[in-house]
Amino acid sequence: DTAVSQTPKYLVTQMGNDKSIKCEQNLGHDTMYWYKQDSKKFLKIMFSYNNKELIINETVPNRFSPKSPDKAHLNLHINSLELGDSAVYFCASSQSPTFREQYFGPGTRLTVT
Amino acid sequence: AQKVTQAQTEISVVEKEDVTLDCVYETRDTTYYLFWYKQPPSGELVFLIRRNSFDEQNEISGRYSWNFQKSTSSFNFTITASQVVDSAVYFCALSEAYTNAGGTSYGKLTFGQGTILTVHP
């Protein structure tokens, strides 16, 4: 069974569109995250939820909106997609928000044309 | 300033060679954690190790070993007798404690730039 899963794995869309990426974890973890990995492989935290509470909200355009319906799910909605949004987006989860190792999903490769 | 620096952008070795990936970090906290992750060509990120700032014992796991030295703020990773399957991007990461406006404490993971390791047959 996959511990952290994301859908879709690949997403190709045009500028201006709105899209969502879904993430689910079956590890029973309390904390979930979204990361962005750019073309140079640099990984940066975007958001984190702990028990459905937003605890990390990095400097991210407000076109990006996370939503956590329950502690096993964290979705990422992106409005008005831009070329610069093209990247790999990783979801992750950890047992708690402090210092625990994070387990990552397989990533969603978003390409904006 | 970079909180986590992996000075080696790319390393290329031949199978069975030993290879060390360097990681230098910067923090003012006394309590922090260090991590290594592996990203193979398939793209997923695989957790390798977590180390807290109070435990400077070296760790060995099979062909992998880690050397944590607080005096030099380094957390280096060595692969002994490298294999082609070790080819991947390796990330070192630092987790420091923060408290948000709502009073919730959390650790934020800051990654280094990654080192691309290629092991040739």
Q: Is the pLDDT of residue A7 over 70?
A: yes
Beta carbons within 8 Å of B62's beta carbon, 6+ residues apart: none
DSSP character string of A88-107? EEEEEEESSSSS---EE---
Please list the pLDDT of chain B residue by residue as tens digits (121 residues).
Answer: 569 999 999 999 999 999 999 999 999 999 999 999 999 999 999 999 999 999 888 889 999 999 999 999 999 999 999 999 999 999 999 999 888 888 888 888 999 999 999 999 9
CB contacts, 8 Å: A25 with chain B: none
CB contact at 8 A, B65 and B59: yes
Between CA B77 and CA A85 the distance in angstroms is: 32
Q: Which of A97, A89, A76, A105 is nearest to A4 (CA)?
A: A105
- What's the pLDDT tens digit per position in A68-85? 999 999 999 999 999 999
* B40 part of contact set with chain A, CB < 8 Å: no
pLDDT at B70: 93
- What's the pLDDT tens digit per position in B37-68? 999 999 999 999 999 999 888 889 999 999 99
CB contacts, 8 Å: A53 with chain B: 102, 104
- What's the pLDDT tens digit per position in A28-44? 999 999 999 999 999 99
CB contacts, 8 Å: B33 with chain A: 99
Q: Which of A86, A48, A50, A90 is nearest to B91 (CA)?
A: A90
